Amino acid sequence: MEAPIGDTEDLVRCSSARRSPRTTLAGRGRVWILRVAGRTAAGSRLRAAREQQLELTPPLGCTSPRPLSPAAGVPGEAEQPAPDLLEVEVGSTALLQCGLSHAPTNLSHVDWFSVHKGKSTLIFRVRQGQGQSEPGEYQHRLSLQGKGPTLALTQVTPHDERVFLCQGKRPRSQEHRIQLRVYKAPEEPTIQANAVGIPVNSEEPEEVATCVGRNGYPIPQVIWYKNGRQLKEEKNRVHIQSSQIVESSGLYTLQSVLKAQLVKEDKDAQFYCELSYRLPSGNHMKESREVTVHVFYPAEKVWLEVEPVGTLKEGDHVEIRCLADGNPPPHFSISKQNPSTREMEEQTTNDNGVLVLEPARKEHSGIYECQGLDLEAMVSLSSDPQELLVNYVSDVRVSPATPESQEGSSLTLTCEAESNQALEFQWLREKTGQELGRGPMLQLHDLTREAGGGYRCVASVPSVPGLNRTRLVNVAVFGSPWMAWKERKVQVEENAVFNLSCEASGHPRPTISWNVNGTASEQDRGPQSVLSSLNVLVTPELLETGVKCTASNALGKNTTVIFLERVRLTTLTPDSKTTGPSTSTVSPHPRANSTSTERKLPESESQGVAIVAVIVCILVLAVLGAVLYFFYKKGKLPCGRSGKQEITLPPSRKSEFVVEVKSDKLPEEMGLLQGGSGDKRAPGDQGEKYIDLRH
């Protein structure tokens, strides 16, 4: 609309008193926007004020004009107050509350707009308390909360960050603006360290690590740390380069690259990144894991390392390796000093450059040295010489080497050994493990046959645990062969192959012979003992004569006689069945000698036979008694005073048989032989009964 000429001149005259640009604070003074169209009296002054916002202060005597409003039909637009701020997270529901007066007439007719990039778009209408969405991006996400002034926006996305405007038309036009702020926490940051490595002599900062934070909104802030201390931009030392990518969802993916110049001390440094972001609940942060970076630096020192640490002894597994303080380590070689020429001679190492001594020997003792060659800088470094000492015990010997002595005499054993440490000696009996004494000498007095056998000398180093060597020597006591038994009885089966064994000992070592033919074999049972075995067929002649084994040496002989007893009855269990020849062994007893007498051992087989025989006899007597009792009851068995009875036989058979029955039963056991009337025997009756078979 155009303003009247007179009014325009008055306005120009009053407004010419003072002009100043309006401030950004809403509601400070009165603000008008002057729009002049067509002819004007002000001319150029009005054109200068065109489309500008002016704060007009009327001069003295000039009344303040009434603000023009679009509703009054005056061109121009009144300034709006700052919008309300509403903060929500992505995926949640935003409640847009219209701030108009709560009079029912104000809420009955409301329009909602979205303002984006200066463009207002109608998105929702409220008529008489009923809401309706307009077609578009918000068509299915808006709903009216009851009949009040609140509009619900579901499934908020980063694209929804804008101004929403509610406008009431009745009774007069009113507006309320809401600024929607959207937030989304980024995912846990991931960090990737430089896998190649960084040299310390680099002229420019090298890439140390890359940090990535995905799906955050708005863009989070990245902070880098080294060993817990924040890193900041530093010229030619530290540089942080960040970039971001906008995903289709509107979320941001942030990538930050840390570049720095590192020094040798950074070889163990821990680097990590931190994402700092804001949510409606406040400020938050997330940290990545810590990483280290390979730092390359030249070696300054080389040295030797020996494992195991401490005192070494023969037999140990020893490893010698070179170490350096450079990365990567230089090329190593290990040398040992020749004791004769004093020259260093290179040793052969494995693929890892380690010199392995297994097992360690006394010859490995000496002076070792390590050489390192840095191929990058072409510099050679040498370690300090280091002496290696392998403790040992060797050449343990006992004198005399083959000790011999007569019974009743004495014998002295002496033990010697070589070592680089002080030695202790101990004597043990080989057969029993019993300790006999300590010291390099062992005295044996009043030797007996039992004193013969093995003696062990143990040479050890007390200062080196586990270091010892031993020597075994066998003491021989002169004597004729020594056998355990003079006689022995064994149970055999006739016409079966039976294995007989005989053992003897003595010095000189005896030999064993048999007096019967058979398959014989011998085997050593020690330096002075021998065992002979004979497989023989048991014949009636052998049962009568027995078998004899004879042991002999240069000092005499000794004999053992084995008597064979035939087994008549035997009871065999399933486990006792054998398919080979039976075996009987005659071996020396520890305290037996050539004058030992016969010893009878209990035989389980003979006991079984005796039990079976007794049972058979009892059964026979019981059957016979039953027969006699039967004849007696029939009256065919007359019993006289003499105890003789006759049984009638045919004439041709008379006087041919007379059966005499003798019983060793006690009187109370003879009931079976008495008549049913209880007849008693005469006092002179000795329990003998005769059955005369002639009648």
Q: Mean pLDDT score of the chain, rounded to an integer?
A: 77
pLDDT single digits (tens) 594-608: 433 333 334 445 566
pLDDT at 41: 32
The pLDDT of residue 206 is 94
Chain Cα centroid distance, residue 89: 47
Average pLDDT over residues 640-651: 42
Which percentage of the chain shows pLDDT scores above 90?
48
The model's confidence at residue 519, banded by pLDDT at 50, 70 and 90, is confident
Looking at the predicted structure, is the pLDDT value of residue 457 above 60?
yes
pLDDT range class, residue 567, cuts 50, 70, 90 = confident
Highest mean pLDDT among 232-236, 286-290, 523-527, 622-626: 286-290
Beta-strand ranges (E) seen in 194-246 are 198-199, 206-216, 221-226, 229-231, 238-246
Res 64 pLDDT > 80: no
Instruction: Inform me whether the pLDDT recorded for 81 exceeds 90.
Output: no
Q: What is the mean pLDDT of residues 402-415?
A: 92
Which CATH code for domain 482-566?
2.60.40.10
Q: Is 215:253 a contact under the CB 8 Å cutoff?
A: yes
Fold of 84-183: Immunoglobulin-like (2.60.40)
Q: Is the pLDDT of residue 411 over 70?
A: yes
- What is the per-residue pLDDT for 581? 45
Q: Which residues pair with 520 in a beta bridge?
A: 534
Note the pLDDT of residue 56.
Answer: 32
Q: Name which residue leads in pLDDT, 581 or 407.
A: 407
pTM here is 0.50
Pick from 349-358, 537-546, 568-577, 625-634: least confident:
568-577
- Report the CATH fold assignment for 397-478: Immunoglobulin-like (2.60.40)
Q: How many CB atoms are located within 10 Å of the residue 178 CB?
A: 22
CATH number for the domain formed by residue range(s) 302-388: 2.60.40.10
14, containing H or E segment: helix 5-15
Backbone angles phi, psi at 105, to 5 degrees: -65, -30
The pLDDT of residue 106: 58
CB 163 within 8 A of CB 178: yes
- Is the pLDDT confidence value at 95 over 80? yes
Rounded Cα gap, residues 319 and 305, in angstroms: 8
Q: How far apart are CA 259 and CA 655, in angstroms?
A: 140
Predicted pLDDT of residue 115:
94
Please name which of 293, 304, 242, 239 lies closest in space to residue 267, comparing C-alpha atoms: 293
Fold matches, 84-183 and 190-296: yes
Torsion angles phi and psi, residue 660, rounded to 5? -105, 125
Percentage of the chain beyond pLDDT 70 is: 72
What is the greatest pairwise CA distance in the chain? 196
Residues 98-117: tens digit of each pLDDT: 876 555 555 678 899 999 98
pLDDT reported for residue 112: 93
Give the mean pLDDT of 504-533: 86
Tokens of 155: 């499934």
Residue of 573, 588, 577 lying closest to 525 (CA atoms): 588
Q: How confident is the model at residue 640 (pLDDT cuts 50, 70, 90)?
A: very low
Backbone phi and psi for residue 575, each to the nearest 5 degrees, phi listed first: -80, -15
Pick from 23-32, 353-362, 682-691 the range whose average pLDDT is largest: 353-362
Residue in 224, 206, 209, 223 with CA at minimum distance from that of residue 263: 206
CA distances from 226 to 213, 266, 267, 288, 291 (A): 19, 9, 12, 12, 10
Three-state secondary-structure class, residue 494: coil
Interatomic CA distance for residues 293 and 229, integer angstroms: 17
Contact 169, 111 (CB under 8 A): yes
Q: What is the pLDDT of residues 197-234, one digit of tens each?
A: 999 988 899 999 999 999 999 999 999 999 999 999 99
Gap between the Cα atoms of 355 and 400, Å rounded: 42
Superfamily of 190-296 according to CATH: Immunoglobulins (2.60.40.10)
pLDDT (0 to 100) of residue 644: 40
Q: From residue 571, how far is each of 576, 582, 605 by CA, in Å? A: 9, 16, 8
Of 292-301, 315-324, 571-580, where does mean pLDDT reach its minimum? 571-580
Residue 80 — pLDDT band, cuts 50, 70, 90? Answer: low
Model pLDDT, residue 687: 41
Domain ranges of the chain: 84-183, 190-296, 302-388, 397-478, 482-566
Distance, CA of 659 to CA of 643 (rounded, Å): 12
| pLDDT for residue 40 | 32
The position carrying tokens 């494992």 is 307
Residue 604 — φ and ψ, nearest 5°? -65, -30
What is the average per-residue pLDDT within 305-311?
A: 93
Q: Three-state SS for 130?
A: strand
* Residues 8-57: tens digit of each pLDDT: 333 333 333 333 333 333 333 333 332 333 333 333 333 333 333 333 33
Rounded alpha-carbon distances, angstroms, from residue 514 to 529, 535, 557, 624: 17, 11, 13, 50
Q: How many CA atoms lie within 13 A of 675 on its CB side?
A: 15
Tokens in use for 98? 């219209």
Tokens of residue 456, six digits: 């062990």
The predicted-structure confidence for 170-181, as pLDDT tens digits, reads as follows 666 788 999 999
